[in-house]
Structure formats: C-alpha cells, structure tokens
Structure 1
Amino acid sequence: MEKTSQKKQVINRLKRTEGQIRGVQKMIEEEKECMDVITQLSAIRSSIDRVMGMIVAENLKDCFESPEKDPQEQSKKLEQAIQMIIKK
C-alpha cells in the first residue's frame, strides 16, 4: 500500500474515532444508559487498536523492504514492532 494512501486511511480512522469520543461525551452529559456508553467505548477501543495495527504493520513492511545496514539495528526494530503487536 502506498504511504500516502496508508496515511490517509489512518487519519480518516482517527477522525472517525474522534467523532465517536465526542458522541460518548454527549451521551454522558445526557445521562444515557451505561450499556450504551460502554458499547460505544468498546467501539472506540477497537478503532484505536486497528489504527495501531495499521501503523505497526506498515513499519514492519518498511523494515523488510528497506532493511537497516546494521543487522543488529534491524533485529532491534523488528523485535520492537513484534512487542508492540503482542502487547495489549
């Protein structure tokens, strides 16, 4: 995927998430049902997890397509990316 397209997708998803957060704020102000608020918060968390995955995946792709000259540095970057993926 082209970097510009990837960047646009990430920004669009973040804007959508921003709107969801504003919606939750409004729900709380209007004292909406707890389960409805929790449902929206869960959707926000999923959206953020997706953005993180997209960014880490793109960085991993870059590591393989444009490896560092120093193999130890390359290995360190790959390990960091893996840790970001499995850390939750």
Structure 2
Amino acid sequence: MAQTTATKLKNRLRRTDGQLQGILKMVDEGRDCQDILTQLAAVRSGVERIMGVVVAENVKQCVDEDQLSDQQQEQLATALELVIKNH
C-alpha cells in the first residue's frame, strides 16, 4: 500500500475510533437512542468508505498500469473513485 494511502487510511481509522469513543460516552451519559443511532450511522458510513479505499488500493496494486492506455487508466481511476464513494 502506498505511503500516502496508508496515511490517509490511518487518519480515517483514527477519526472513526474517535467517533466510537464519543458514542461510548453518549451511552454512559444515557443519551437519547436517536442521537446514538445517528452517530452509529456516521461510523458505519465511515467504515464503508474505508473499505472502499482498501478495495480500490488493492485493485491498483493488481493492475499493471503500463499495460493500460491513457483512456483505460482514466476509466479505471473513475471506477475506483466510484467504489470509494459508494462502498
């Protein structure tokens, strides 16, 4: 995994960890279930985005870009961005 991707991934994981810690605090404080569920949905979305980044990076490592035309490289980049955004 490229260093910049690993750094971005670690930052996302730290952010998600912070959100989970916040949810634990909300539970300890007896906060409303709706508020907790809202935060859990945000964590789930963040984890799904992280999964998309990991999948996209794996595909990049499996594909030899030297074998792709410029147009194919652009199409691959666009497809991987969709994976990241919609995973």
Question: TM-score, structure 2 length as denominator?
Answer: 0.72
- The aligned counterpart of 1:57 is 56
The runs of at least 4 aligned residues of structure 1 exceeding 3 Å deviation read none
Partners of 2:31 and 2:43 in 1: CA distance: 17
Superposition pairs for residues 30-45 of structure 1, below 5 Å?
30-45=29-44
Which amino acid in structure 1 is aligned with residue 5 of structure 2?
A: Q
CA RMSD across the alignment: 1.9
Q: Which segments of 5 or more consecutive residues in structure 2 lack a partner in the other structure?
A: 66-82
Partners of 2:21 and 2:28 in 1: CA distance: 11
- The aligned counterpart of 2:68 is none
- The aligned counterpart of 1:29 is 28
Which amino acid in structure 1 is aligned with residue 31 of structure 2?
A: K
Which amino acid in structure 2 is aligned with residue 51 of structure 1?
A: I
Question: TM-score, structure 1 length as denominator?
Answer: 0.71
Structure 2 residue matching 1:49: 3-state secondary structure: helix
Structure 2 residue matching 1:60: 3-state secondary structure: helix
Give the drift of 1:52.
Answer: 0.6
Partners of 1:45 and 1:65 in 2: CA distance: 32
Give the drift of 1:65.
Answer: 1.9
Aligned residues: 67
Higher RCO by CA contacts (8 Å cutoff, separation 6 or greater): 2
